[in-house]
Amino acid sequence: MNDRPNSRRTATLRPRSLSMPVVKADLAACQGYANCVVGATDYFDLDDDGIVVLLKTEVPEADRARVVEAARSCPVSALIVED
């Protein structure tokens, strides 16, 4: 005989994780124009060779429009913001 009280197993539904958009860079395409840096200094910088450095990769909704615009300003399309 089982000494445990009669209990039902229940599953808890967890909210689906809401992932943030992510910034990606094509380092081979980057020409160091720095338009992205001007548009979002907290997300983009240039290294000593003039290649983009991603300071952050996840983009909260509050920053999304600004970061997308900065990525779109790249004349060689080296940056993308993906959902």
pLDDT, tens digit only, all 83 positions of the chain: 555 555 445 343 444 446 899 999 999 999 999 999 999 999 999 999 999 999 999 999 999 999 999 999 999 999 999 99
CATH for 53: 3.30.70.20
**Cβ atoms 77, 33 nearer than 8 A:** no
pLDDT value at residue 4: 53
Q: Within a domain: residue 42?
A: yes
Helices marked H in the chain: 35-39, 61-72
Domain span at residue 32?
27-82
How many domains, in total, are found in the chain?
A: 1
Q: Within a domain: residue 37?
A: yes
3-class secondary-structure state, position 54: strand
pLDDT value at residue 14: 40
Q: Within a domain: residue 10?
A: no
pLDDT value at residue 3: 54
pLDDT value at residue 61: 96
Q: Within a domain: residue 1?
A: no
